[in-house]
């Protein structure tokens, strides 16, 4: 560790003593969530995973950890449209809507799967079902319950599924989506102040820019993984522009603070924008030039977007859930328009 980093740690400790930071909640939650697991392995995690969809922590808990969502809470248990249910992770078609029936269990239930779509795995007296293509956990299959003529119930988590409607419904389903990645200090505040902007579909807190696979909050907080606390903004480009969102970002954090944002010190709190293509870079460089012309000594780093790792569930929508207000992010007009 360099002398520079050491001083950052000291400054960070001072900021915590000042009571400005998120010490209590975050520390407690970290203890619960991290469970001492070792995320330091790297390797072939991404091999054969091209085209897989990014999972929220709740989806990953089901699809990757074999968890079960609570009955009557999923998106599809009471869903009756015509179409095909596909794997949430890899998109493979799994169940046709005409095999879906109302089992009263609170989970989507199908009395048949599409040919070859589902693989059965023995699971302590029950039979687990997984996506035959990618191995995603789907749920369990039960036979002999006499609920339908086929006498079979594929009991599936909604979290493992996506739905593709057939016919006329299919046309408008393809909504316009584009991505933006911003890092400007504690992601709770950045997420909070970007949510609800016109055209914003979703904002997820997470980590980007580091060298460790599946980083956890504790590891990123050490300041040694290279990640920045980053938000992934999904927006509708027919309703807003990348430039409008980037302008907003420059006005809800202080792009002149180097090595910290407000009371949060360390490289994980750096001001950075992760661009996905040359056009995004052009937009950002234009905005930075405008701010410099207005006297702001902008230190925001423009970095190529890498893999985005969603943060632990307890970091998502933090301010909405806690009812608190951001401690270090406030809207401040900087462009003079």
Q: Which residues are catalytic?
A: 155, 186
User: Closer to Zn ion at the Cβ: 93 or 199?
Assistant: 93
What is the H or E stretch that residue 275 is in? strand 271-275
Which residues lie near Zn ion (CB under 5 A)? 87, 89-90, 92, 131, 133-134, 136
User: Closer to Zn ion at the Cβ: 90 or 252?
Assistant: 90
User: Closer to Zn ion at the Cβ: 15 or 87?
Assistant: 87
- The two three-digit tokens of residue 318, written as one number: 């933090």
Closest to 208 (Cα-Cα) out of 178, 232, 185, 228: 228
At closest approach, how far in Å is the CB of 133 from Zn ion? 5
Q: What is the DSSP letter of 58?
A: H
The full length of the chain comes to 337
At closest approach, how far in Å is the CB of 59 from Zn ion? 12
Q: What distance in Å separates the CA atoms of residue 33 and residue 31, rounded to the nearest whole number?
A: 6
At closest approach, how far in Å is the CB of 63 from Zn ion? 8
> Edge-to-edge strand order for the sheet containing 100-101?
100-101, 109-110, 152-156, 137-143, 126-131, 118-123
User: Closer to Zn ion at the Cβ: 134 or 201?
Assistant: 134
Radius of gyration of the chain (CA): 23
At closest approach, how far in Å is the CB of 97 from Zn ion? 18
Q: What is the DSSP letter of 74?
A: S
């Amino acid at each position: 560790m360099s002398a520079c980093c050491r001083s950052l740690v000291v400054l960070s400790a001072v900021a915590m003593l000042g009571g400005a930071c998120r010490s209590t909640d975050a520390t407690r939650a970290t203890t619960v969530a991290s469970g001492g697991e070792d995320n330091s392995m790297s390797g072939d995690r991404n091999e054969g995973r091209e085209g897989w969809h990014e999972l929220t922590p709740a989806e990953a808990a089901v699809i990757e950890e074999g968890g079960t969502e609570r009955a009557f809470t999923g998106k599809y248990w009471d869903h009756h449209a015509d179409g095909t249910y596909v794997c949430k992770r890899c998109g493979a078609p799994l169940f046709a809507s005409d095999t879906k029936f109302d089992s009263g269990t609170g989970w989507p239930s199908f009395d048949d799967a599409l040919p070859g779509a589902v693989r059965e795995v023995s699971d302590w007296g029950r039979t687990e079902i997984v996506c035959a293509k990618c191995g995603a956990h789907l749920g369990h299959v039960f036979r002999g319950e006499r609920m339908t003529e086929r006498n079979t119930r594929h009991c599936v988590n909604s979290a493992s599924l996506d739905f593709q409607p057939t016919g006329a419904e299919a046309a408008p389903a393809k909504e316009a989506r584009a991505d933006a990645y911003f890092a400007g200090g504690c992601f709770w505040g950045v997420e909070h102040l970007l949510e609800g902007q016109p055209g914003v579909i979703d904002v997820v807190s997470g980590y980007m820019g580091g060298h460790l696979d599946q980083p956890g909050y504790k590891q990123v907080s050490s300041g040694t993984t290279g990640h920045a606390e980053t938000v992934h903004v999904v927006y509708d480009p027919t309703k807003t522009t990348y430039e409008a969102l980037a302008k907003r970002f420059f006005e809800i954090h202080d792009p002149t603070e180097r090595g910290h944002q407000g009371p949060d010190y360390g490289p994980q709190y750096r001001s950075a924008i992760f661009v996905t293509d040359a056009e995004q870079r052009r937009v950002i460089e234009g905005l930075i030039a405008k701010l410099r012309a207005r006297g702001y000594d902008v230190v925001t780093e423009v970095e190529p977007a890498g893999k985005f790792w969603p943060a632990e569930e307890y970091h998502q929508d933090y301010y909405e859930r806690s009812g608190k207000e951001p401690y270090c992010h406030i809207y401040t007009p900087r462009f003079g328009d």
